[in-house]
Structure 1
């Protein structure tokens, strides 16, 4: 919860990847709050008992959302889907604005990789940015499993990551009312 609050303010892209990981942690613990307390909450040495209660409540709320929204086996809760929607809206506004040629250049540099990912089986109905996040998340999971990542994949992820980092910066500016697209 505390990590998510910090990330949401500082880097929306990292926040989204973190939240996807939390969803998977909940699934890995079979939605069992006792397991989550033992494996996730209790190991935090710096948390007070009150903070641990708040964190447990946060996990319980996420479990309830996942259950209510039917994403127990796969998929993402609506609050996480909304971030993709907001980012896609901002992405499209940035591409339409003549002021953000640097962003457009980063997008067109990433576009061949996005197209390739979508032809390799990514859901063509989902927003392009979701494809980008899925690629980054997939590589994150491979790294956690200590699996080898090809040089081509590393190159693609670097370009996509650069695009999302730029977008995340503009997202903060937009949220703070500091982004002038006209």
Structure 2
């Protein structure tokens, strides 16, 4: 939970991938807080008891959210969906502003990969930004399982990572009210 809040401030892409992993960890433990306690929280023996208690409460709140939102077996909690919505909005704003032409170039360089991934998704089409995160998360899972990744897929993921890194950079600036769009400068 401390890790999550730091990641959210510093790198929204890492935060979202981390939170998707947390959702999967919760599912892998059957949404059972006692199993999460023994398989995850108890491994942090070096943390003070108060922090382990806070960690347990955090997991309990996430379990409750997952149950209430009906994402027990699959899908993402609304708090994670909201991050995607914010990133999609920022993406639109950046693309619409000629001041961010380097960002637009990176986006249009990534777009053919996104289109190809969306075509392969069949009925499970997601937005462009979510498609990028789905690809990165899928690769993360493959790597954790020790599976081989083709050179073509590695190149595609490298491009998606570059694009999301730039988007994350702008998100952090926007989050800190440091991002200035052309329209903001015109009004000043």
> TM-score, normalised to structure 1's length?
0.97
Q: In the comparison of the two structures, how many residue pairs are matched?
A: 181
In the other structure, the counterpart of 2:86 is 86
2:160 — aligned with what? 160
C-alpha distance in 2 between matches for 1:178 and 1:121: 36
Could you say which residue in structure 2 is the equivalent of 1:172? 172
SS in 2 for 1:30: coil
Q: Distance in 2 between matches of 1:42 and 1:103?
A: 43
Secondary structure at 2:143 match in 1: helix
Q: Secondary structure at 1:74's aligned position in 2?
A: coil
Q: How far off its partner does 1:3 sit? A: 1.0
Normalization by structure 2: what TM-score?
A: 0.94
Partner of 2:144: 144
d(CA) in 2 for partners of 1:154, 1:39: 32
Deviation at 1:46, TM superposition (A): 2.5
Which position in structure 2 is the counterpart of 1:40? 40
* Structure 2: gaps spanning 5 or more residues: 183-188
SS at match of 1:99: helix
Match of 2:23 in 1: 23
Unaligned runs of 5+ in 1: none
Partner of 2:115: 115
CA offset at residue 81 of structure 1? 0.1
Note the C-alpha offset of 1:45. Answer: 3.0
- 1:54-73 equivalence runs, <5 A: 54-73=54-73
Kindly indicate which of the two structures has a greater share of residues assigned to helix.
Answer: 2
* 1:83 match: secondary structure: helix
Which stretches of structure 1, 4 residues or more, deviate above 2 A after TM superposition?
A: none
> CA-atom RMSD, angstroms?
0.8
Equivalent residue, structure 2, for 1:127? 127
